[in-house]
A and B are shown apart, each in its own frame.
Chain A
Amino acid sequence: MPDAIAIEVNGKRYPVQYPPETPLLYVLRDELGLTGSKYGCGEGQCGSCTVLMAGQPRRSCQISVSAAVGKPVTTIEGLEKDGLLHPVQQAFIDAGAFQCAYCTSGMIMSSVGLLQSNPNPSSDEIVQFLQGNVCRCGTHPRIVDAVHQAAKAMQGRSR
């Protein structure tokens, strides 16, 4: 048996049996059972599969699992801490920022990534940043609202 690679997801180390060139998304979903990240297009065009890799939002259908070695991955399942929702998750609920919600994981992960680098984005900056995330139900205005609300909540929280 060759040395299996291992990746760190949501603070936990997982050995990976799938071939190293397998897209990270398939490893997350099919091998690790973390199905919160969604398949939407397989070409990095819809953002449904967005995860944080070393803190950066990335399309997990476009990176091989081997590229995630040594770079901690956070998926939608890793945002909730001790039963407490991440402020972005809470803001999506409060703003009613989903309809079918299939895009929601990716939207939330992209938004978390945005707020890490830009804690107080303007509406234009949010729109620009989320341009690569598709929502087919047309919930865009509420998603922008949710990101604003989350930004506010996060600033209130960190001193």
Chain B
Amino acid sequence: MSKQSPVFAVEPERYELTSGSIHHFDLARREFFKLLGAGIAVFAAATNSHAAQETAPSHGFHPQDLPTDIAAWLHIGEDGAVTAFCGKVEIGQNIRTSLAQTVADELRVPFESVRMVMGDTALTPFDAGTFGSRTTPTMTPQLRRVASAARDLLIEAAAKEWNVAPSSVKAANAKLTDSASGRTLTYASLARGKTLAQNLPAEDPVTPPADWTVAGKPLSKVDARDFVTGRHQYTPDLHPAGMLHGKVMRPPSFGATLTVYDDSAARSMSGVVIVRDGDFVAAAATTEREARAALAAIRAQWKEVPQVSSREIFSYLKNNAEAKTDGRHRQQQGLVETALAGAAHRLDATYNVAYIAHAPLEPRAAVAEWSGDKLTVWTGSQRPFGVRGELADTLHIPESNVRVIVPDTGSAYGGKHTGDAAIEAARLARAAHRPVKVVWTREEEFTWAYFRPAGVIEIKSAISPDGKLLAWDFHNYHSGSSGIETPYAVPNVRTEYHSVSLVLRSGSYRGLAATANHFARETHMDALAHSANIDPLEFRLRNLEDARLRAVLEAAAKTLGWPQAKKENRGMGIAAGHEKGSYVATCAEIAVDEKSGSVRVVRLVTAFECGAIVNPDGLRNQVIGANIQGLGGALFEAIEFENGRITNPRFSRYRVPRFRDVPDIEAVLLDRKDIAPAGAGETPIMAVAPAIGNAIFNATAQRLNNLPLIPNGLKKT
């Protein structure tokens, strides 16, 4: 399965992932059974290459009796309860449900009997993080292999008990049946009184997608009832006994340093704990209001530094590229310059992409509690083990003293990779000798988190008279390299990513730079098609050899009904691409209000193919969700900044998609049971912006080369 997946490489735009790694196991096998009770346990070593990169340990202490590269483990208790452990986290992508489905399917037990323990550094195997659409392609096969090995173990135990050949024992519905005599044994009865553990065999065949019974079905979210009753506790809802609320004093601008500091008035307030550590100033008190009041009572002055503003960001990025291009992220074939120089039909253009914010509805938050020199932190994070490392480094304590637990989290979209709130809460809790909770305000979230980087993309291109690409010269400044390579067949091609030092704190965002690179490429392809008087779909197909990409393009076009006769003030656009092993094409239909210049997206059809589908319901939610989220960055989202300050750090100033913005959306899911499942959280966002931009061109003949496309509506021509 793993052979088809591309090797996992960290893209340059994951600026936030700088931390070195850690990796050892806190849980020895003896403790494992002590914790979970007797039963049967199976440990999966991460033997395939890319899973190993996400889960593999490097240095550090390993208990002698555990393999060093475990990716997942599973336990069947004496009551038949199945618990599977993995380091991934649930952030709304519904992976807790689809992983439980996978385990139930392979182990042949009811879905309800499986519990997933996730994102707890003391209980789950090391995991690099929940990002890059990696959970389904890496964790699903791991858990399948673990569950399959556990099933084999149970079959062998039953065969031994009955003195029959294992091949005559069948497993179904948490029971084993001897096909000759009809005798049965439950998994629970076999697990009773045992502490049986096994490492995974090197090769263990798993159930092929065509034979799935629990996986592949639309099941509703695990613990759904807790979410509709308000019972589920996100990090900001936790309240350990004696807890204080913490608040951090933020500098007036990025990079400002503290020059004058006097906290005598604040220190005289009762029940208040003040921490000053370098430029870090924070307060903790019984209520958030008191903590805020304490900060307000501190006299502080800051020295500010001059900074680039959003008005000049694009010229700044273009003019400040580092001389050396990133050699890992380039495509080079043929003679681009010669082909461009000799071509009769040329088209060159520049595309700009603004910074945007993730704006997860649950802001960054953490609760920290010390017990002696041991620290436990609950935090909404995509990288519990990464945050553990950050905490250990910042607080100068051994990693083995830190436990990070991630409650199912109110979304992240790539924005929760760093441990900022965790560190703040832990630093305050250490001083307060009590648990401390830090919950960022929306303004802090919009200001002090990291952004999807802005970027400038320049394309030079040439086509032949019959509409074949001859030359493609593509340069991305700063926004990143994901999806930078063109999937179209072109004999002379050069794609380069040019890094620029950070202006604003930047990092991963759903789909990474694939959204920017696809916007530029697919807008440019549209412009080329129009300049050659060829239908944009036909132009793409004429230059495309990739059968999977053709399939999604054709599926989206067919569902939308492409081509259609042009209607007054209406337009249709198409865009496509592939990234991280999955394929997407989006068709957009828009309507323009001539008087007001407002553009309404009327319809989106997104065809998506990510190999075999694990949970069609969850997948549909992800695809439609990505399309809706993509509307914001496509149409109006942009972070504005000046003098080191974000000038629109509120929902009243930073527009996100709301109900009225949501068009009729269709997700056309192509199920390829013959291809191993790839992740689906990111790729469906990539084609939305160019499809809409191309539709606007179709309606108005205005070519929009910047994201967001129409922050203030269409300009009159």
Contacts and interface: CB of A to CB of B under 8 A. Distances in A.
A99 B621 contact: yes
B230 A138 contact: no
B413 A136 contact: yes
Nearest to A88: B228
B228 A85 contact: yes
B657 A138 contact: yes
A108 interface: yes
A141 B572 CA distance: 22
Contact of A103 (B230, B361, B625): B361
Interface in B634-679: 650-652, 656-660, 662, 665
A20 interface: no
A42 interface: yes
B359 interface: yes
B665 A137 contact: no
B267 interface: no
Contacts of B93: 99
Given A35-B230, A136-B629, A93 B225 contact: yes
A20 B360 CA distance: 30
A39 B92 contact: no
Contacts, number: 167
Nearest to A107: B228
B656 A136 contact: yes
Interface residues of A, number: 59
Contacts of B625: 99, 137-139
B233 interface: yes
Interface stretch (B19-27, B57-65, B197-205, B234-242): B234-242
A103 B410 CA distance: 8
Contacts of B658: 131-134
A134 B409 contact: no
Given A102-B410, A137-B92, A142 B362 contact: no
Contact of A26 (B92, B225, B289): B289
Given A30-B287, A77-B230, A136-B411, A127 B660 contact: yes
B159 to A, nearest CB: 41
Contacts of A48: 361
Contact of B227 (A34, A80, A101): A101
Interface in A25-81: 26, 29-30, 33-43, 45-46, 48, 75-77, 79-80
Contact of B230 (A99, A105, A139): A105
Q: How large is the interface on B (under 10, 10 to 19, 20 to 34, 35 or more residues)?
A: 35 or more
Contact of A41 (B442, B624, B657): B442
Contacts of B363: 39-40
Contact of B651 (A45, A75, A130): A45
Contact of A36 (B94, B231, B441, B659): B231
A43 B659 contact: no
Contact of B628 (A104, A108, A138): A138
A22 interface: yes
Interface of B: 91-94, 218, 220-221, 224-225, 227-234, 236-237, 239, 245, 287-289, 359-363, 408-411, 413, 439, 441-442, 617, 621-622, 624-629, 650-652, 656-660, 662, 665
Closest 8 CB pairs of A and B: A36-B230, A100-B92, A138-B628, A102-B410, A138-B625, A35-B237, A76-B230, A45-B651
Given A35-B233, A76-B229, A138-B662, 18 more contacts: A30-B239, A42-B441, A43-B650, A43-B651, A48-B361, A77-B230, A93-B224, A93-B225, A99-B411, A100-B362, A101-B92, A101-B221, A127-B659, A128-B659, A131-B660, A136-B629, A139-B621, A140-B662
